[in-house]
Amino acid sequence: MTECNGIKNSVFSHESKIHVVSHNFSDRILVPYMAITNSWDICKGDFCEMQDGTKAEIIGVENLHMATAEANKISYEMYKLSAWALMNQWYIRGVKFDSACFVVLTLKKIETI
């Protein structure tokens, strides 16, 4: 049985994918879904290539609505910015998003994929 985005599925197997993420490597990042290729299918166990060329395994995926107190707290802990300011930074960078849902990825740096 596999689990992807909180959905357990015993019929379809989930093969690890490589996602490209528009963010430099860090052990934990908060990004809009539009900053990740194939973000609709991102799961724990997948791999990603970061903007700085670092390869990583995704060891945690947490959906986060940016209009919550929790999002504000996490955003400030990670970037010293409010959730609103972080969303604005992504918008200024040209990442258009149609949702206030972002994702927190916990990453483990790897040498090769």
pLDDT tens across 75-111, in order? 999 999 999 999 999 999 888 777 888 999 999 999 7
Cα–Cα distance measured from residue 29 to residue 7, given in angstroms and rounded to the nearest whole number: 22
- Report if residue 85 sits inside a domain: yes
pLDDT tens for residues 9-56?
A: 333 344 567 899 999 999 999 999 989 988 888 999 999 999 999 999
Q: Is residue 12 part of a domain?
A: no
Q: Has residue 89 been placed in a domain?
A: yes
Which residue is associated with the tokens 């209009």? Answer: 67
Q: The CATH number of the domain where 25 resides is what?
A: 2.30.130
Which pLDDT belongs to residue 38?
A: 86
Per-residue model confidence (pLDDT) at position 44? 93
Report pLDDT for 113.
52
Number of domains in the chain: 1
Tell me if 47 is assigned to some domain. Answer: yes
pLDDT reported for residue 8? 42
3 is a domain residue: no
Per the domain annotation, does 11 fall within a domain? no
How far is 74 from 14, CA to CA, in rounded Å? 29
Token pair, residue 47, equals: 């791999």
pLDDT of residue 16: 65
Instruction: Determine the Cα–Cα distance for residues 43 and 58; give it in Å rounded to an integer.
Output: 7
Q: Which domain holds residue 86?
A: 17-110
Kindly state whether residue 6 falls inside one of the protein's structural domains. Answer: no
* Domain annotation covers residue 99: yes
pTM: 0.82
Matching residue, tokens 């599925």: 9
